[in-house]
Amino acid sequence: MTQQETPVRKVPVACTLNGQQTEFLAAPYQSLLEALREVVGLTGTKEGCNDGNCGACTVSLDGRIVDSCLVLAAEVDGRQVDTIEGMAPPHGLHPLQQAFLEEAALQCGICTPGFLVAARALLEREPHPDEHRIRLWLAGNLCRCTGYDKIVRAVQRAADETT
Amino acid sequence: MSTTADRPAQEFKVVGSRPVRHDGVDKVLGRAQYGADVKLSGLIHGAVLRSPYAHAVIKKVDVSRAEAAPGVFAAITGNDMPVTAPRLVDMMEEVTNLKWASERVMAHGKAVYRGHPVAAVAAVDQNTALEALKLIEVEYEPLEAVISLEDAMKPDAVIIHDDLVGDHLGEKVPHTNIAEHTRTEFGDPEAAFAEAAHVLERTYTIARAHQGYIEPHSSTAFWSPDDKISVWTTTQAPFGVRSSMAAVLKVPLSDVRVVPTEIGGGFGGKIGLYMEPLAAVLSRKSGRPVKITMDRKSVFDATGPGPGGQVTAKMGVDKDGKIVAATATIRYMAGAYPGSSISAATAGIFACYKVPNVRIDAYDVVINMSKTAAYRAPGTPQATFASESLVSELCETIGMDPMEFHLLNAAEEGTRRPDGPVFPRIGNVACMEAIHNSDHFKSELGESPDGKLRGRGFASGYWNGGGNRSSVTISVNDDGVVSLVEGNPDIGGTRTTIAMQAAEVFGLPAHDVHPTVVDTDSVGYNDLTAGSRTTYASGQAAIEAARQVVEEIKKRVAMIWETEPENVSFEDSVFQNKVAPDQRFTFKEAAGKLGQTGGPVSKTGAVNVRGSGGGSFAAHLCDVEVDPETGKVQILRYTAAQDAGKAVHPSYVEGQFQGGAAQGIGWALNEEYYTSPDGVMQNASFLDYRMPTALDLPMIDAIVVEVPNTNHPFGVRGIGETSIVPPAPAVGNAIADAIGVRMYQTPMNPSRIMEALANKRNGKNGHQG
């Protein structure tokens, strides 16, 4: 089926994005990931696989982390979406962002936004996770550079420093 | 350049410290611009139609319906690409024939791998482009796919390239899939084997494994009406992309400007040309900038991976366990075009040892799968799985402690590497001693509480590293901060490690050097970010530029002090008049006086670092637990010791050791292309091609050994690659220790472990040799 035969009507979406009321039009087939990157213009959320297996596109949806490639943009109407762009306070860094820098927890950095969003959700629920708990929580986020050692240490450091 | 050869250990102020990386804030904020993040005015989106067949004649491609669809700006086929004559170009970690480089980016009449581009379109958005691909009509005549070594090498093999002329020990051989057969020989291995006290020969099979970078390839091009082509692409080799683009598109080199974006991992897989020329030709046709981003499936189907293959290794020792001879036959599957790093495999397979008599045969074999790419220490992990597994089994046979065997036979300064070069000062023994002295080595393996089987394995490994060409320009600002312009994409912290080497010369804090990676028009030539060369070679360019800046500022302050530049010293970031020691300026003070003493100071260090990167050896120790019920292997503890020469930024050195170990563990335990008999990868997703997750790995203890490299002013060695070399044999040797059966094939996944345990019960040894 081509667009010639069936013109696609875009869907209006109104959501709270990083604390701001935001409205945009999304095609019905468009994922939240694509809408964030291509429609809204927030490219901090990354595409690594587009099938829910790498976690590079992790965002928070009503406080729960999701792979934004597996959520339709139209589904977030009326809901709260938080991305990497909303993580730092104005002119500052979130403790996790600071810990990632101090611990050298990124090499190429493409997976970093997803890890940060996922790790924040963990620390919001469990301020003092042990190593196994951190590894289990982050098992949905692939990193090919670090071997995870320094990422786990950065999350531990951020947990220690926010007490 | 001066060397550290016969000087006492140098003291450093910046080198060896752990500053936050310069690009770190952008990367944790999500602001860094990777390949797919490129946005340009009027940008349209491309998509590539790929062959569903691994081997097929393309009888007809008709893009007319796609081209006519609403929202489509342009469609191209192989006929839109210039025909390129065969010519070899050296891309350092890969040697490429331009004709094949051209055919690889877009099929010309024949598809030779599943995923081979056949046509491409550019449209107003991604979805319209993907829909338009469905309107392209292609008529294929499928051919028998050649996907195994056995089928490719047999006398009556189906031939993939009619125009491939093999080089078989110097003889030109047409009508073959064996692109190259090389032999390296020294001494008389047969005579030595005949007199050896023990000889062991085994054959090992290693699976294709993908580099697995998380960022898919993405390239954007704009072909301007004045025939200037700009390319924004995620690549390790902007200057390589420039030269091969120019050759493939038949345009002047300097009309191509390559802007390297941030790069989301590469590991060797982002060296070659992929979609850059397609985006450029679509741009010329449409008049718009065109972006093409691969999906993950295409990344698996049509890029990388590292070659799989088979290695037969043989080693003989005397009654004391001293190696008297070693031989190997290495057969690698290059994929659809030649070039599978057999020379690096030859260099690396026995590099950790003194081998008085040696012969290594190596075969580069084409098959109907995507052309393999360099993958971290290209060719070497596969060969080392064979040699280090063999050594472990040999030690078991002769009842010798593996560590004792390694130390007795270890290559050291002056040892001839089996393929010829003589080692300079190296850290091979120092790494083994580091493991020997580690808490891990001294720890008890302990018993599993629930009946699982535990074992410990050891393996060493080697990668030489490269030098070659780098250019770095340093300019001094009025406030005493310097800007540093470089041309190597920063794949894991090299902005900082290069800046730190300049900062060391200036005696400035690392953050008073501001590094920027720029496009190919804005800096002198730089070889690629690969071969463990960036910190090592571009660092030397930075040191050279910094030293020139210091010499120039000496002239300026001499002018102010009305003395000669020779009378000006520079130490601890202070210029001082040796004749009148009261006269002194800090670097920052002097920087503020450049305007009145002759104008701006800006210097370029352009180097061609010859010879060895120094060689970085590693020794890895691994504890595993094997579940005999399921065959699952869990890594309990892992220690990686490696020689960094001098660690510029120890955190990023540790990170390279840990990351390489993790990739090697993935290769050892899980990673493999499952391919149907007709050459179609069955597991082309991160769900089924399973790379290690955080839950699969323990902390990885990194021990940074520092044996200074005599080829670098600060003693630095390139360290990025060696860490992937020892893991597969270290894991395999640990499994053998745990279950009492040797493993001869990667990945050592649950089904193979269960098979090995069953063979053990039935009294069979699993080796094929």
- CATH number of the domain at A24, please: 3.10.20.30
Residue B95's pLDDT band (cuts 50, 70, 90): low
Are residues A31 and A74 both part of a single domain?
A: yes
For the residues of B161-195, what is the DSSP string, one character each? -TT--EEETTEEE-S-SEEEEEEEEES-HHHHHHH
Residue B614's pLDDT band (cuts 50, 70, 90): confident
A contacts of B304 (beta carbons < 8 Å): none
Report helix angle B98-105 to B238-249, nearest 10.
90
**Average pLDDT across chain B, whole number:** 95
Tell me, what's the pLDDT at B97? 78
A contacts of B695 (beta carbons < 8 Å): 135-136, 138-139
Q: Do A49 and B30 touch (CB under 8 A)?
A: no
- CB-based contact, B268 to chain A, within 8 Å: no
A contacts of B70 (beta carbons < 8 Å): 2-4
Whether residue B475 has pLDDT greater than 70: yes
Name the minimum distance, in Å, from the CA of B42 to any CA of chain A.
13
Residues 476-515, chain B, touching A (beta carbon < 8 A): 491-493
Q: Do A112 and B685 touch (CB under 8 A)?
A: no
Are residues A77 and A142 both part of a single domain?
A: no
- Beta-carbon count within 10 A of B612 CB: 21
Final residue belonging to a domain, choices A39, A57, A84: A84
Q: Average of pLDDT values for B457-466?
A: 96
Among candidate residues B597, B635, B616, the one with its CA nearest the CA of residue B725 = B616
Whether residue A3 has pLDDT greater than 50: no
Interface contacts (A, B; CB < 8 Å): 202
DSSP state of B83: P
Point out the residue among A47, A141, A146 whose CB comes nearest to the CB of B658: A146
> Any idea which architecture B24-32+467-609 has in CATH?
2-Layer Sandwich (3.30)
Q: How far apart are CA B561 and CA B568, in angstroms?
A: 9
Are residues A76 and A16 both part of a single domain?
A: yes
Contact present, B334 and B223 (Cβ < 8 Å): no
Residue A1's pLDDT band (cuts 50, 70, 90): very low
Angle made by CA atoms B412, B414, B415, in degrees to the nearest 5: 60
Q: Average of pLDDT values for A124-146?
A: 98
Are residues A74 and A133 both part of a single domain?
A: no
Whether A89 is in a domain gets the answer: no
Integer angstrom CA distances of residue B329 from B42, B179, B204, B281: 54, 15, 10, 43
B309-465+612-761 CATH pick, 3.30.365.10, 1.25.40.10, 3.90.550.10, 3.40.190.80: 3.30.365.10
Residue type, B364: D
Query: What pLDDT, in 10s, does the model give residues B152-181?
Result: 999 999 999 999 999 999 999 999 999 999
Whether residue B5 has pLDDT greater than 60: no
Whether A51 is in a domain gets the answer: yes
Give kind and range of the element (H or E) at residue B256. Answer: strand B256-260
Are residues A70 and A100 both part of a single domain?
A: no
Final residue belonging to a domain, choices A26, A59, A84: A84
Whether A4 is in a domain gets the answer: no
Q: Average of pLDDT values for B109-135?
A: 97
Q: Which domain holds residue A60?
A: 11-84
Give the count of alpha carbons within 13 A of B25, CB side only. Answer: 7
Name the minimum distance, in Å, from the CA of B33 to any CA of chain A.
8
B24-32+467-609 and B37-144+211-302, same CATH topology:
no
Residue type, B588: K
Are residues A148 and A125 both part of a single domain?
A: yes
Are residues A66 and A20 both part of a single domain?
A: yes
Tell me, what's the pLDDT at B769? 44
> Any idea which architecture B37-144+211-302 has in CATH?
Alpha-Beta Complex (3.90)
Residue B99's pLDDT band (cuts 50, 70, 90): confident
Are residues A76 and A99 both part of a single domain?
A: no
Among candidate residues B306, B276, B294, B341, the one with its CA nearest the CA of residue B105 = B276
Q: Do B126 and A34 touch (CB under 8 A)?
A: yes
Are residues A142 and A110 both part of a single domain?
A: yes
Contact present, B394 and B200 (Cβ < 8 Å): yes
Contact present, B364 and B152 (Cβ < 8 Å): no
For the residues of B446-494, what is the DSSP string, one character each? ---TTS-EEEEEEEEEEE----EEEEEEEEE-TTS-EEEEE-S--SSSH
* Positive/negative CA dihedral, A141, B718, B304, B127: positive
Whether A6 is in a domain gets the answer: no
Percent helix / strand / coil, chain A, rounded to 5:
40, 15, 45
Complex prediction ipTM: 0.97
Angle made by CA atoms B201, B207, B209, in degrees to the nearest 5: 140
Torsion of CA A130, A131, A135, A136, to 10 degrees: -40
Q: Do B216 and A47 touch (CB under 8 A)?
A: yes
Are residues A34 and A68 both part of a single domain?
A: yes
The structure tokens listed for B604 are 């370029």
Are residues A55 and A111 both part of a single domain?
A: no
Residue type, A20: Q
Contact present, B259 and B519 (Cβ < 8 Å): yes
The total number of structural domains that make up chain A: 2
Whether A116 is in a domain gets the answer: yes
Are residues A73 and A111 both part of a single domain?
A: no
B contacts of A42 (beta carbons < 8 Å): 30
Whether residue B3 has pLDDT greater than 70: no
Among candidate residues B230, B349, B243, the one with its CA nearest the CA of residue B290 = B230
B contacts of A110 (beta carbons < 8 Å): 34, 213-215, 262, 264-265
Q: Where are the domains of chain B?
A: 24-32+467-609, 37-144+211-302, 309-465+612-761
Contact present, B129 and B121 (Cβ < 8 Å): yes
- CB-based contact, B651 to chain A, within 8 Å: yes
Whether residue A7 has pLDDT greater than 80: no
Whether residue B635 has pLDDT greater than 90: yes
Residue B6's pLDDT band (cuts 50, 70, 90): very low
Residue type, B380: T
Tell me, what's the pLDDT at B16? 98
Interface test with B, best of A1, A3, A108 (most B CBs within 10 A): A108
Tell me, what's the pLDDT at B766? 66
Three-class SS state of B346: helix
Contact present, A124 and B65 (Cβ < 8 Å): no
**Average pLDDT across chain A, whole number:** 95
Query: What pLDDT, in 10s, does the model give residues B568-602?
Result: 999 999 999 999 999 999 999 999 999 999 999 99
Q: Which residues of B429-456 are buried (b: 16+ CB within 10 A; e: fewer)?
A: bbbbbbbbebebbeeebeeeeeebbbbb
Final residue belonging to a domain, choices A84, A109, A144: A84
Residue B84's pLDDT band (cuts 50, 70, 90): confident
CATH code for the domain in which residue A118 is found: 1.10.150.120
Alpha-helix runs per DSSP H in chain A? 32-34, 95-102, 112-125, 131-137, 149-161
Contact present, B184 and B358 (Cβ < 8 Å): yes
Q: Which residues pair with B313 in a beta bridge?
A: B202, B328
- Beta-carbon count within 10 A of B232 CB: 26
Q: How far apart are CA B339 and CA B342, in angstroms?
A: 8
Three-class SS state of B769: coil
